[in-house]
């Protein structure tokens, strides 16, 4: 597909699109990988990225952008919009530098909730099996014990000495049952009027 250049506009000088690995851009043509984008739109919280108009309001108060060169929520949103998911779904993806502080969620005038888009991307990384060790070990600890911190030897005694009741048991059969993926019969989840999950 060849895009028509608007008549009264001089084509921009050759400048690579910022952070857009999945898109190829020349002076005249830009290909956007819509199929790659669709995968994200199906994850909870991923669909709002389409509201992004690239204003950059999410960047000013982003602590990761302040302290980590190359991290920028606006650029991450742009990369997603252009379908460059491969770059964001690789094992050492920059999205793991996000601090989950929700400042971008507060600042975005378009209700994109960039942090939620980033969390949706992280879910795709897990789906692909490329999650960092920190994530995997918390995930496994919760799956096995129902708690996020491993119960260390001696804790029962410490709690008793402090006058605290023992940690109550957790019904792990219940936890494991609800964490199993949905069956075909149960369906893969709701679709909203846009055909995207809300």
Partner 1 sequence: MKALFFPGCLIPIKYPQMEVAVRRTLPPLGIEIVDLEGFSCCPDPIFFQAADKVGWLTMAARNLCLAEEAGIDIFTICSGCTGTLSEANHILKHEPPMRDMVNRRLKRIGKEYRGEIEVRHIVTLIREKVGLERVRESVKRPLEGVRVALHYGCHLLKPSDIMRVDDPDEPQILHQLIEAIGAQPIVHDERFLCCGKACIDPDLPLEMTRTVLRSVKEADVDCMGLICPTCFSSFDTGQLLIARKTGEKMDVPPVYYFQLLGLAQGLTPAEVGLNRHRIKPLSLFEKIGQGVT
Contact set with partner 1 (CB under 8 A): 43-45, 61, 63-64, 67-68, 96-103, 105-106, 113, 119-120, 122-123, 126, 131-132, 134-136, 138-139, 142, 146-152, 155, 158-159, 162-165, 167-171, 174-175, 177-180, 182, 186-187, 189-192, 198
Q: Which of 29, 34, 54, 147 binds ligand SF4 (CB under 6 A)?
A: 54
Distance CA 17, CA 78 (A): 9
The DSSP letter of residue 181 is: P
Neighbouring residues of 28: CB distance < 8 A, sequence distance ≥ 6: 2, 3, 5, 11
Q: Compute the distance between CA of residue 89 and CA of residue 80 in angstroms, rounded to an integer.
A: 11
Listed ranges 21-29, 30-38, 47-55, 144-152: which one lies at the site for ligand SF4 (CB under 6 A) = 47-55
Contacts of 57 (CB under 8 A, 6+ apart): 107, 108, 109
Q: Are 6 and 28 in contact (CB under 8 A)?
A: no
Which residue, 29 or 164, is less far from partner 1 as judged by CB?
A: 164
67 in contact with ligand SF4 (CB under 6 A)? no
Choose the contact partner of 169 out of ligand SF4, partner 1, none; CB within 5 to 8 A by kind. Answer: partner 1
């Amino acid at each position: 597909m060849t895009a028509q250049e608007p008549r009264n506009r001089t084509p921009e000088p050759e400048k690579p699109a910022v952070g857009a690995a999945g898109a190829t851009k020349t002076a005249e043509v830009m290909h956007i990988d819509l199929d790659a984008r669709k995968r994200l739109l199906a994850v909870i919280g991923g669909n709002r990225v389409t509201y992004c108009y690239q204003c950059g309001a999410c960047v000013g108060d982003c602590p990761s952008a302040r302290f980590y060169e190359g991290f920028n929520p606006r650029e991450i949103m742009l990369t997603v919009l252009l379908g460059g998911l491969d770059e964001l779904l690789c094992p050492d993806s920059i999205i793991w530098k996000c601090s989950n502080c929700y400042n971008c969620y507060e600042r975005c005038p378009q209700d994109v909730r960039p942090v939620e888009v980033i969390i949706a991307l992280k879910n795709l990384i897990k789906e692909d099996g490329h999650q960092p060790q920190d994530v995997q070990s918390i995930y496994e600890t919760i799956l096995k014990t129902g708690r996020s911190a491993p119960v260390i030897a001696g804790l029962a005694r410490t709690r008793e000495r402090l006058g605290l009741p023992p940690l109550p048991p957790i019904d792990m059969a219940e936890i494991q049952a609800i964490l199993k993926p949905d069956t075909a019969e149960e369906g893969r989840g709701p679709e909203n009027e846009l055909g995207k999950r809300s």
